[in-house]
Chains A and B, each alone.
Chain A
C-alpha cells in the first residue's frame, strides 16, 4: 500500500475516519425528502472516477503519486471537472521561487458502468480550484453531460445532497451525504455556505431538494494575500486547516465550462497594479464623497495601468460605468475577479479620483487589459541534464517577492536541483537567480539553452555561474563530469 502516501485529497486514514462519522451520525430528518434512487440514476450518467498519476517535484525532490478523484462530465465531447486543489497554484507557488510542481503524467477516466478512457489535463481555475480534464481518443463518442442549474435562489436552511468517493477497497464506492445551506455570503462573491459536508467531498455535484444540480462543493476564498491584481494569490479560507465549504454556483460553473482554464495559457485580464480598498475612514480623511474604491498602490512598468495613465495614489471608483463599492480589503477579490474575467483583450473605462491635500479631480482613463503574468509554476523551464539541474524564466511573482525591478534586473531561476548532482555539489541553490554563465549574461531559458549547447560541445572542466542570492551576488563554480 504505497499509494496516497502524501495524499492531498486526504489519506486512507482520513477517509476512514470520516466514513466512520458518517455511519455513526444519526439519520438527518430531511434526508427522507431526497429520492436517492433517482439522484443515483441521474448521477450515473455523468459521474466518473479519475485515476491520475502525478509527478510532484519540490526543489530537489521528485516523487510519483497516484490519486483518485470523483469527476463529472460536463460537455458532450468529454470535458470533466474535478477537485484540482492539489494541482492548482497556491499562495506559495505564486509568491515564492520554491514551487511545488504537480504534473499529471497519466490520467484514466472510468465511468460507473466500467468504461475506461484516457484523458489529458487542461488546467485549474485559480478562484474555485476546480480542475478540468478532457477525455481523448474517442472523438466520435457523445457523453451525457451534467448541466448545472443557473439562477437558483438559495435559502438558508435548505438541504443539499451529494455523492462522495470512498476508498478504492470499498465497493460500491459512492456514498451519499447531505448538508444544509447555513449562510448566504455576498462577498467576496455570492457563495452559499454549507454545514454538514467535509472537505473530502470537494467538487462533488450538489443537488437541491428538487433534485436539480445547483453547483459543486467549494471553499470560501481568503482574500488576505490579495494585494495585487495578478490573481493567483488567493487561497481558500480555513481555520485550523478546515476550510469553510459552500456552493460554487451553476452560473460560475457554466462560465468555466464554456471557457475552461488551460495550464500555461494566461486567460485572465490584468491591469498591473498593487491595490488596497478605500475604507470609509480614508475617504473621510481625504474628503472624498465615494462609498469605496480601489487605491492604486503601485504600478508595474509597461503594464496596462501605466499605459492608461494611472498614477500611484489614484482611486478607481468605477469600472465600465459600474460602481466599485469596495470599502474593505476583504472585498478586493470582487475587483480582482472582475478584471480577471474581463479577459486579456478587454478595453475598460476606469473612473478615477486623483487627489492632493487641497484638491480632488475626477478623470476617465481607458486601459487595454493584457494577459496576467505567468505564475512560477507556469513558467517555461529548461533542463540542463549535463549539470543535473533545471532553470526557469523569471516571472512577475519573482520580481514582487524579491523586490526587484524588471527594468534593471534579469536572469533565470534555479527551479530544480538533483540532490547530490553536479550543480548541487558545486554550490548552486534552489531559487538562485543565474545572471551570467561564464561571462555571458543570460536573460531567458532560450539564452541558457544556447550557451549550454556550446558548453556541452566544448566540455570544460568547470562552469562558472554568476548568481543573485539573498540580495547579493556571487560566483559559483560547478565542476563538470562528461564521462
Chain B
C-alpha cells in the first residue's frame, strides 16, 4: 500500500514539473481513466478442469476481465477462463452473475466470456479498446483487476518497454506453448496473480493491453498483451469461435551476430533455424540455414528477436491452404520456394476421462505429434494415470500413446471413446492396450476388478 502511494505521488510530481501541466491535471486524468474503465471491470472466478492426475479434477481460480460489448462480452486470459467449466463473475457494482466461455486462444493467452446479464438490473458499462501501436515508453498507465483476489484494485505506473520478447517455448499452466505471435508491454504498475485478464489502461481511459504475466520475486515487472493483438484474437473468437492460423512449420532465429557468417546485409532476411518434421516447409525443401528475404514479394527481416512475432504472424494470418512464395537466400544464391500453408489447428486435443481404468487421455493434434516426436496422430495420448489404479498397475504412464484396445486399432479419440464405452458396459475383466512409448511398442494389461465398481444408478 505504502509503495503504491509513493508511486502515485512521485508520478504526480513528475507530471507537474516536466509536462508543465497545471497542478492536479494528472490526478484528474487518472480519475477520468478510472471512471471510464473501472465500471467495466469484472472479477472472474472460473472452475477449471484438469486431467493431469488421471481423473477429472476441478479447481476454482481467480482472475480479472473487462467488458467490451454491451451484450456482456468480456475479455480475459486463456489461462484464467480458457478451460473453464463454470464461471462466476462479480461486477463493479458487486453484483454476481454467471458467465460462459465463448472461446479462447492459448497462443495469445486470450479468452472471451459472455456474462449472463438477464437478471442484472444495474447499468453495464463497456470499456473502449485503444491502439497499442502508438504507445510510448514512459507513458502513464493504470492496471486494474483483482490482485491476489482483492477485487476492484487499481495500480499505477508507466510503460517500461513496449516490445518485450519472450521465448515461444514458455508454457501456460495447462501445458500449451504461448506467445509465439506477440510481444508484451512491460509495465511497473503492480501486477500480481489475480490481475490476469485485467485491463492495462492509458490516461485517456482506453484499454491498451490485457495484463497477463508478472515476475514473481521481482519488483514491478508486469507484462500485458498489446490490445491490437487482443482485438484480432477477440474478433476471430466472436466471428469464428476460434483463431485460425496458417502453419508451414518454421522456427526462426534473430540474425544479429550471424550476418557475417551467412553473408547477408543488415536488416535483410529472416533466418530459418529449425523445421518441423512433416511440415509444409519440409515438404517444400526449405531447410535450416535458409534466409527468407521476401514473402510474396514483401521484404522481411528479423535482425532482433523482437521482430520474430510479427514475421510469424505474417505467415499465420494467411488463409490455410494458401500458396505463399518465399524468396530465399541459400549458399549465396537466391531461390523461390512455393509453400502451401496448412491450418495450424489446435495445440491440444480434447480430454477424456477413463474412470474405470484410472487414466485420462487426449486426442492427438498435429502440434502434439510434433512436440512429442510421434510418427503420426493415430491413437490417444495418455495425459494422466491415477495412482493405485488398474491402469497404473498395468504399467500405463503419462506420455504413452494408446494405439490399440484389445485387437481394435484406434484412429481417433472418437473411436477410442466408442470402444471404451462398449467395454465398460459389457463388464469385461481385462483389456490389453497396445501402446507406444518412445520408439517402442509396449503392452499394458488393465485388469478390471468388478468388486470395486460402485453399483449402477437405476
Contacts and interface: CB of A to CB of B under 8 A. Distances in A.
Contacts of B273: 472-475
Contacts of A357: 407
Contact of B253 (A281, A297, A462, A475): A475
Interface string A270-303: 0000101001011001000000000101100000
B430 A474 contact: no
A477 interface: yes
B318 interface: no
Given A298-B440, A474-B253, A285 B430 contact: yes
A474 B274 contact: yes
A400 B432 contact: no
Nearest to A402: B373
B271 A400 contact: no
A466 interface: yes
A478 B445 CA distance: 51
B278 interface: no
Interface string B442-457: 1101010000000000
Most buried by A among B430, B432, B443: B443
B432 A403 contact: no
Contacts of B169: 470
Could you say which of A329, A438, A472, A477 has the most chain B C-beta atoms within 10 Å of its C-beta?
A: A472
Contacts, number: 69
Interface string B254-270: 00011011000000000
A477 B260 CA distance: 11
Interface residues of B, number: 27
B261 A276 contact: no
A313 interface: yes
Contacts of A281: 430, 432, 445, 447
A464 interface: yes
A475 B289 CA distance: 8
A276 B169 CA distance: 35
B271 to A, nearest CB: 7
B441 interface: yes
B94 interface: no
Nearest to B443: A282
A279 to B, nearest CB: 6
Contact of A462 (B261, B439, B445): B261
A312 interface: yes
B432 A285 contact: yes
Given A285-B430, A474-B253, A475-B271, A298 B441 contact: yes
Contacts of A276: 395, 442-443
B251 interface: yes
A471 interface: yes
Interface string B124-135: 000000000000
Nearest to A404: B373
A464 B258 contact: yes
14 contacts: A274-B440, A276-B395, A276-B442, A276-B443, A279-B445, A281-B430, A281-B447, A295-B443, A297-B440, A462-B257, A473-B288, A474-B274, A475-B258, A475-B261
The 10 A-B residue pairs with the shortest CB-CB distance, nearest first, are A298-B440, A472-B274, A274-B440, A297-B440, A473-B274, A281-B445, A474-B273, A403-B373, A464-B261, A285-B432
Interface of A: 227, 274, 276, 279, 281-282, 285, 295, 297-298, 312-313, 329, 357, 400, 403, 405, 438-439, 462, 464, 466, 470-475, 477
Interface of B: 169, 251, 253, 257-258, 260-261, 271, 273-274, 288-289, 371, 373, 395, 406-407, 430, 432, 438-443, 445, 447
Given A281-B447, A403-B373, A403-B438, 9 more contacts: A227-B440, A274-B439, A281-B432, A281-B445, A285-B430, A473-B288, A474-B253, A474-B274, A475-B289
